[in-house]
A and B are shown apart, each in its own frame.
Chain A
Amino acid sequence: EPEVTQTPSHQVTQMGQEVILRCVPISNHLYFYWYRQILGQKVEFLVSFYNNEISEKSEIFDDQFSVERPDGSNFTLKIRSTKLEDSAMYFCASIRTAHLNTEAFFGQGTRLTVV
């Protein structure tokens, strides 16, 4: 069964460093998303991406964040200068079409720890 894959599963980084979280969405999906979950809190929407551009972003997604689809398969989330409060589980998701019955498929997440 096709699945969304994320790498790495865990990442530890020092405050101020840049990190890139990688996702490979399901191959025929067209819409891509990043979510995050700070420990003990809700899963929160960060950004949506379609047709090589950001469609919508939350207030969390400030200038320190960027997304890119550098080739036909990868979808990346970059945090330019990490802060302690960026420590969270980051989930990538994708959907195939903008249709009433569509469902979002999620990856297994990347746990980011900023020290």
Chain B
Amino acid sequence: AQSVTQLGSHVSVSEGALVLLRCNYSSSVPPYLFWYVQYPNQGLQLLLKYTTGATLVKGINGFEAEFKKSETSFHLTKPSAHMSDAAEYFCAVRGGPNAGGTSYGKLTFGQGTILTVHP
């Protein structure tokens, strides 16, 4: 079974400041980890993902995340926040494969973090 915890339902930063959104996961199998973003009135858009290989992954819009197995974490960062980054961010984990293959699209989400960027 998998679970995801996002620390902080609301994060507020100033424009130009570092963005840090925290995500911790629990997984009984090697995790595949994702960050999605939801802008107002839009769907969930993939920011970045970790499956295997390099533990520091880069995504769109200058975001990156580091998979730390020892800490069971996958925190999302961006060096300099922009007003357009204001959105809700979701961390998600995908478990191991099942026989039918549909598990590849079955995600367990965290509760989301709303990012506010102040001028």
Residues of A at the B interface (CB closer than 8 Å) are 3-4, 6, 9, 31-33, 35, 41-45, 48-50, 55-56, 91, 93-95, 97-109
Contact = CB atoms under 8 A, between A and B. Distances in A.
**Which DSSP category, helix, strand, loop or mixed, fits chain A's interface?**
strand
Contacts of A9: 41
A44 B106 contact: no
Contact of B102 (A4, A56, A100, A106): A56
B76 to A, nearest CB: 16
Interface residues of B, number: 29
B112 to A, nearest CB: 7
For the complex of A and B, 7 pairs with smallest distance between CB atoms: A98-B101, A108-B43, A106-B44, A55-B102, A48-B102, A43-B109, A95-B105
A50 B102 contact: yes
Most chain B CB within 10 A, of A41, A42, A97, A100, is at A42
A56 B111 contact: no
B43 A31 contact: no
B70 interface: no
Given A106-B43, A108-B42, A100 B101 contact: no
B110 A42 contact: yes
